[in-house]
Structure 1
C-alpha cells in the first residue's frame, strides 16, 4: 500500500529553498567540525584537514543536489575541473594584481619585503585559509543559493540576491562599514556570480575566489578586514576610499571599478550563451 504523504514529502524536499537550506547547514557543519579539529594543529596537517573538509563539503553538495534537488551536477564536471579552476586562478590573480597596482600608482600602497617573514609558513597558512573560504563560500552562495533562486525566480534575481547576501555576510568582519558591504556586494557578489553564469562552472568560481584571497594574504593586505601576515609589509597612505582603510583592498573604489570591467563582459557572454541554448 502506497503512503499518501510520500509525494508531499518529496515535493517539500525538492522545493528550491528547502534543499538550499539543508545543503547549507550540512556544508557549514562539516566546515565547523574540521575547523575544530584543525584548531590544535599547524602546518601540513592543518592544510590536509582543510582539504578533507573541502572534499566533505563537496560531498554534502553532491548528496544535496542528487537526492534532495534531484538534479544533475553539470556545474561540477570532473573532466574539466583542473582547466576551469586554472582559468579562474588566472582571472582572480589578474583582478587583484591590476587593482593593487592601480592603488600603488595612485600612492595608496607601498610594499617592502618583510625581513622576518617565513615564506613556507606564510604559504601554507595562506593557502589553507584561502582554500577553505573559496570552496565553502562558493558551494553555498554560487552553488546552492544562486541555483535555488535561479530555479525559482530566474538568473537576474539570483544574481541580485546572492550578491546582496554576500555583502551582508561580510558586515560582521573587522573594520566593516556599510560602504565595504556595498563594495563586496559589487566586486565579489556580482563578479563571482557573473563568472558562474558565464562559465556555468563552480570550479572556475572557486579558482577565482581562491586566487583573490591567497594573493591578498601573501601581499600582506587585510582580507575583507582580517589582518594578513604576508611576505610584504604594506604602508597605507591616503583616503580610505582609495586604500580601503582597515578593511583592506575590498574597501577601495578601485577593485569595485575593475571588477565591473571584468564582470560586464562575462554577463554579456552569459546572455549570448543562453540565447544560443
Structure 2
C-alpha cells in the first residue's frame, strides 16, 4: 500500500503543518496558487517573442499556448513535489518516456482508431477526401502536446494523486473525473451529456492508467495521441473545437451515436470503448490489491 502512495505526511510535522501544508486539501490549493503565480510570470514571454497578436502565425500562437500551459503546470508541480512533499518526482522520470510514454502514444492511436472504425461500421463516420496540405502542426502542439502534458500533470499528477492519498482510490476517481468533465462544460457545443461522457471515458480512464502505471508519461502519451488522431488525422472536432485534419470527414446519424458538434467524444461508441479499457485496468488494480482506502481507514488499520 505504501508503494502506491507517493507522499506520506512526516511523523515529525507539527499539527499546523499537517493541516496547512501537508494535508491533501492544502497541497491542492498550494498547487493551484503555484500555477497562477508561474503562469503570471511566464505570460509576458510569448508576446515578447512575437508569438501573439494579429501578426502571429498559427504555429506561433500554438507555441505561446504550449509555453504558458506546460511551464505553469510542470514548474508548479515540481515545486510542489520537491519543496513541499520533499521527494523525487518519479512519476515524471524522463527514463519512462521510451517505455510508458511510447506505450501511451501507441495506445491512444489504437484506441481512437478503434472508435472511428466502429463509427464507420455503424454508418456514422464518412471520409469525403484528403487534405495533404493541412497545417497540422498547430493542432499537434496545442491540442496534443500542450493539452497532454498540461492537463495530465494537473489532473492526474496533482488532483487525482493527492485526492487518492486523502479519500482513497474510489473517491479520487469520482471527484477528479467529475472535475475533468466539468472543465469541458464551456467548450463549443458542450452539453451536460458531453461533459459526463468526458468524465467517464477520459477522466476515469486516464486516472486508472496513472493508478496502474504510476507514470504520468503513460497518461500524457495516451491523451496527446487521442487528440492528435481525432483532429489532425481524422478531421473530427476535439472536445468541441473544430480543427482541419488530413482526412476530410463528416459524421451522420443521431448525436448519441455521432457525438454531434462536440465530436466523437460525446458518442456512446467512445464511451463504451473507453469504459471497457477502464474496466480492464480496474481488474488489474484489484488483482494487485493496489486500491488505496481513505486515509481515515488506513489510520484504523495501522492503529
Same fold, TM-score > 0.5, yes or no: yes
Does the Cα contact within 8 Å between 2:46 and 2:64 map onto a contact in 1?
Answer: no
Deviation (angstroms), 1:46: 4.8
CA distance, structure 2, for counterparts of residue 247 and residue 125 of structure 1: 17
RMSD of aligned residue pairs (Cα, Å)? 2.5
Matched, 1:70 2:86: yes
Q: Which one of 237, 248, 253 corresponds to residue 233 of structure 1?
A: 248
Deviation (angstroms), 1:8: 5.6
Matched, 1:188 2:188: no
TM-score by length of structure 2 reads 0.81
Residues 50 and 82 of structure 1: is their aligned pair in 2 closer, same or farther, counting only changes over 3 Å?
A: farther
Q: Which one of 26, 43, 52 corresponds to residue 39 of structure 1?
A: 52
Q: Deviations for 1:177-199, whole angstroms, at most 9, x for unmatched residues? A: 11111111111011101111111
Q: Which one of 14, 20, 23 corresponds to residue 15 of structure 1?
A: 23
The residue aligned with 1:133 is 147
CA distance, structure 1, for counterparts of residue 144 and residue 73 of structure 2: 15
Deviation (angstroms), 1:51: 5.3
Q: Which one of 142, 148, 153 corresponds to residue 156 of structure 2?
A: 142
Q: Deviations for 1:205-249, whole angstroms, at most 9, x for unmatched residues? A: 011000011111112100111111112222221111100001101
Deviation (angstroms), 1:56: 5.0
**What is the number of residues matched between the two proteins?**
270
Does the Cα contact within 8 Å between 2:139 and 2:243 map onto a contact in 1?
Answer: no
1:71-110 mapped onto 2 (5 Å cutoff) = 71-110=87-126
Q: Which one of 34, 55, 75 corresponds to residue 59 of structure 1?
A: 75
Q: Which runs of 5+ in 1 are unaligned?
A: 1-5
The residue aligned with 1:213 is 227
Q: Which runs of 5+ in 2 are unaligned?
A: 1-12, 293-303
Matched, 1:250 2:258: no
Q: Which one of 100, 115, 127 corresponds to residue 111 of structure 1?
A: 127
The residue aligned with 1:263 is 278
The residue aligned with 1:26 is 34
Does the Cα contact within 8 Å between 1:220 and 1:231 map onto a contact in 2?
Answer: yes
Give runs of ≥4 in structure 1 deviating > 6 Å.
none
The residue aligned with 2:296 is none
Matched residue of 2:21: which SS? Answer: helix
Q: Which one of 209, 214, 218 corresponds to residue 200 of structure 1?
A: 214
Residues 77 and 96 of structure 1: is their aligned pair in 2 closer, same or farther, counting only changes over 3 Å?
A: same
Bigger proportion of residues as helix = 1
